[in-house]
Structure 1
Amino acid sequence: MIELIKITAMKAFEASNPVNIFVGTVANANPIEIEIHQKLKLTREFLVITERVTRLEIDLKHNHGGVDALTKIVIREGLKKGDGVVLARVQGGQQFVVLDKVVD
């Protein structure tokens, strides 16, 4: 009976606190792997990757002396090994949303 009360109390606590925020480090960029601490490394199946942390390039068309040219410009690099990231753990702990990079 006491064990059932403990379990019920923990579930009620978790329900009142649906999201936890973590800071992790990109251990590997491809395939993506994020380390929260030494004992917890998250692989792609546990991650929800937002647009904010993906690579973004644009093609810039321009003309020099009558010659059309196309230049790729990188707006966002995307995640790379060693980057710090902010994650939100979805209630239940099975999925982590990668919200953004950590900057100095």
Structure 2
Amino acid sequence: MAGETLLNWWADRGGNESDYSDIVFGTVVDDSPLKIQISNQMTLTEAFLNLSESVTDHKVKMKIDGKETTVTVLGALKKGDGVTMIRQDGGQQFYVLEKTGGDEDE
């Protein structure tokens, strides 16, 4: 019943495919300033990107040998990294969810 209601709501919404959220894959073509290519014709700049914590350098508190310490996780995007993104409704903003591969230095 709820699923049927949801399907009807989507059908009644109308619009183009580009009006809806979607999963998009891209490749980092420059890391400073950040640019992600999603097709031969489209490269996204920082103005269109929102980054999840997993694709940034960030600090994490953890216990090592019973002592609490803070470590820095080096997750920042680098040229050649593949990424998975969520395109928000309307296609104007992209949430960079995670790295998916690409050139690996390690």
SS at match of 1:102: strand
1:44 aligns with 2:46: yes
TM (norm. structure 2) is 0.65
Query: What letter is aligned with 2:78?
Result: K
Change in 2 beyond 3 A, CA 1:77/1:52: closer
CA distances 1:65-85 after superposition (whole Å, capped 9, x unpaired) = xxxxxxx96523310000000
Q: Compare CA radii of gyration and give the structure with the larger one.
A: 1
For 2:78 and 2:72, how far apart are their aligned partners in 1? Answer: 14
Q: 1:103 Cα shift?
A: 3.4
1:32 to 27, 31, 34: 34
C-alpha contact 2:52 2:97 (8 A) present in aligned 1:
yes
Equivalents in 2 of 1:30, 1:73: separation in Å? 24
Alignment of 1:1-104 (within 5 A): 12-14=14-16, 18-56=20-58, 74-103=72-101
1-structure distance, mates of 2:72, 2:29: 23
Percent of aligned pairs with the same amino acid: 38
Runs of 4+ deviating beyond 4 Å:
none
The amino acid that maps onto 1:51 is E
Aligned length: 84
Q: Would the aligned equivalents of 1:14 and 1:91 in 2 still touch at CA under 8 Å? A: no
TM-score (norm 1): 0.66
Unaligned runs of 5+ in 1: 1-8, 59-71
User: What do you get for the CA RMSD once the two structures are aligned?
Assistant: 2.9
Post-superposition CA distance 1:50-104 (Å, at most 9, x none)? 111001357xxxxxxxxxxxxx965233100000000110010101110010038
Alpha-carbon separation, structure 2, partners of 1:45 and 1:56:
21
1:49 & 1:42 partners in 2: Cα distance? 13
